[in-house]
Copies of this chain bind each other. A is one copy, B any other.
């Protein structure tokens, strides 16, 4: 009797005071267009907002409403969160987090600056970037460059708990954000250029205790795959799928890191993410398919067990990491309503898949410059079904070690890299920031030493032939595999897009412009030169009845590494400097938030 009463009280309290789980609360927040509660906008990674106070008809009138300098230079990827009256802004290394008061032009409510060993900097592949913090249930989850994961009290910035996910001395670092799903925070790892063995780990949001960890390579049990139940193209992957695809113990230093964006679908309870390049970049040193590098994984959020996997680029020869975001949308495909997963891979192909079954529905080039493969084999009866058909001329393996394979398109940073695309359910189109670049790639033999670069190739990058530009901002139809419209950009569009119900799409440029274009036509409606080049992701929120659009400036990232790190020469293994050197004619280092709105009168 007493027990029942207590249960009733608890139930009543729970129902009135809090949602059933943190996930429900976060889901609710992410569905409230007044907030920007997740780095990805929502679990589906659509980066779409229902707000339309700013729209195609009036966006030309927006202007900065307030600004904030982060006090840190170099590349500012990611974007701020907005929860109620507070904006959470992060910086690249040293990974400062600011809580800013939206009621007071961004007054600093608290600041958290971790003490990190600066020796982590040289171990970070491609600038000291960081893609931001996550929020759930009163906590800010902050994944530092040194792989320390900290849970901060969102009100005070005080540390609730802190754990360490990896070891920078072995080249394990972090650049990615994390994602909270129910009572777990999902955490990836960087270091594919240091022979790091990739993994995805789930920690309990309240205690920081590890719940599950799924490696990208190795024994089935360590990968959390079931040889019989985990499928690729609808078929079980079988026993030792990874071990059989590597020579000897190479899988132990085989990459497949997980530094991209994560997605989650509550209806299937599946988490989606991609794995990075196999180590080293010299394909001769790692015969086999190198599973499960370059793979899209669909995993059960509670157990981590993989439901399906799809290796897009078996035996990578170009550093085409598969980590780009999976965008989860429900659209008709071939006349049928489908639960789709759309993914714009570094390798230049856009994939449309059934996210429940893992069925590959479409794979088309989203930059006509792509030349390393003719197509992805879509013949289900073919033994090479789902595999790219590699062009021998651009096979760096066939060309061989110490041979400079010329003119591979795209360049190693891909037709798209970390810069996330957006999707508008109103137009049914995806808005994709792209790179329009090619490369020369020369693999060489390299030996592994823990914590030392394990790259094994030199490369140089340059604009795709016949053009005078290094980027395009495109609208893509994932149902047809066609570009709806395409805007040329002088440099790679390294910033993340935002689509809104106002039929406006926003993105930033490496020169520093925030641009607003018509979602239907791509017509430029507005541009503003922010202090520094933009590689951050645009977001939007409502506060006090006014819609705001916010973006971080701060040139850098892989495309801007020359400027960010003060390099004047292409560097071995990075090589991004060449084509992007002209950036220094447009912008200088910075670290600023600019918040736009319509004028108040």
Chain A residues packing against B (C-beta within 8 Å): 60-61, 63-64, 66-71, 73, 98, 105-108, 111, 512-513, 528-532, 553, 584-594, 599, 601
A409 to chain B, nearest CB (A): 29
| Integer count of this chain's copies in the complex | 2
Question: Is there contact, CB below 8 Å, between A590 and B592?
Answer: yes
Chain B residues near A111 (CB-CB < 8 A): 584, 588
Chain B residues near A594 (CB-CB < 8 A): 67
Q: Which residue of B lies closest to A66 (CB)?
A: B529
Question: Is there contact, CB below 8 Å, between A105 and B67?
Answer: no
Question: Is there contact, CB below 8 Å, between B588 and A69?
Answer: yes
A355 to chain B, nearest CB (A): 40
Contact (A108, B584) CB under 8 Å given A69-B553, A590-B69: yes
Question: Is there contact, CB below 8 Å, between A599 and B63?
Answer: yes
Chain B residues near A69 (CB-CB < 8 A): 512, 531-532, 553, 587-592
Q: Say which residue of B108, B553, B593 sits within 8 Å of A586 (CB atoms).
A: B108
| Bound Cα distance from A513 to B104, whole angstroms | 12
| Bound Cα distance from A587 to B105, whole angstroms | 11
- Interchain Cβ contacts under 8 Å between A and B, 30 examples: A60-B601, A61-B599, A63-B63, A64-B64, A64-B67, A64-B528, A66-B529, A67-B67, A67-B592, A67-B594, A68-B529, A68-B531, A69-B512, A69-B531, A69-B588, A69-B589, A69-B591, A71-B73, A71-B532, A71-B588, A71-B589, A71-B590, A73-B73, A105-B529, A106-B529, A107-B585, A108-B584, A531-B592, A590-B591, A599-B599
A546 to chain B, nearest CB (A): 14
* Most chain B C-beta atoms within 10 Å of own C-beta, residue among A67, A68, A73, A584: A67
| Bound Cα distance from A584 to B528, whole angstroms | 28
A338 to chain B, nearest CB (A): 44
Q: Say which residue of B108, B585, B601 sits within 8 Å of A588 (CB atoms).
A: B108
| Bound Cα distance from A589 to B592, whole angstroms | 10
Contact (A528, B588) CB under 8 Å given A71-B73, A73-B73, A601-B61: no
Contact (A108, B73) CB under 8 Å given A63-B64, A64-B63, A599-B599: no
* Most chain B C-beta atoms within 10 Å of own C-beta, residue among A69, A584, A599: A69
Chain B residues near A589 (CB-CB < 8 A): 69, 71
A277 to chain B, nearest CB (A): 31
A593 to chain B, nearest CB (A): 8
Contact (A108, B585) CB under 8 Å given A66-B528, A69-B531: yes
| Bound Cα distance from A593 to B106, whole angstroms | 19
The 9 closest A-B pairs by CB, nearest first: A69-B590, A71-B588, A63-B63, A69-B531, A71-B589, A69-B532, A105-B529, A66-B529, A67-B531
Q: Which residue of B lies closest to A89 (CB)?
A: B588
A332 to chain B, nearest CB (A): 41
| Bound Cα distance from A601 to B526, whole angstroms | 13
* Most chain B C-beta atoms within 10 Å of own C-beta, residue among A70, A529, A553, A588: A588
Q: Which residue of B lies closest to A108 (CB)?
A: B585
Chain B residues near A106 (CB-CB < 8 A): 529
| Bound Cα distance from A60 to B553, whole angstroms | 26
Given contact pairs A63-B64, A105-B529, enumerate 7 new A-B contacts (beta carbons under 8 Å). Answer: A66-B529, A67-B512, A67-B529, A67-B592, A68-B531, A107-B586, A111-B584
A210 to chain B, nearest CB (A): 34
| Bound Cα distance from A601 to B63, whole angstroms | 13
A543 to chain B, nearest CB (A): 14
Question: Is there contact, CB below 8 Å, between B530 and A67?
Answer: yes
A588 to chain B, nearest CB (A): 3
Chain B residues near A105 (CB-CB < 8 A): 513, 529
Chain B residues near A66 (CB-CB < 8 A): 528-529
A76 to chain B, nearest CB (A): 11
Chain B residues near A599 (CB-CB < 8 A): 61, 63, 599
* Most chain B C-beta atoms within 10 Å of own C-beta, residue among A60, A528, A592: A592
Chain B residues near A107 (CB-CB < 8 A): 585-586
Question: Is there contact, CB below 8 Å, between A588 and B553?
Answer: no
| Bound Cα distance from A68 to B592, whole angstroms | 10
Chain B residues near A68 (CB-CB < 8 A): 529, 531, 587-588
Chain B residues near A532 (CB-CB < 8 A): 69, 71
A560 to chain B, nearest CB (A): 12
Chain B residues near A592 (CB-CB < 8 A): 67, 69, 531, 590, 592
Chain B residues near A67 (CB-CB < 8 A): 64, 67, 512, 529-531, 592, 594
| Bound Cα distance from A240 to B601, whole angstroms | 66
| Bound Cα distance from A429 to B594, whole angstroms | 36
Question: Is there contact, CB below 8 Å, between A98 and B588?
Answer: yes
Q: Which residue of B lies closest to A528 (CB)?
A: B66
A599 to chain B, nearest CB (A): 7
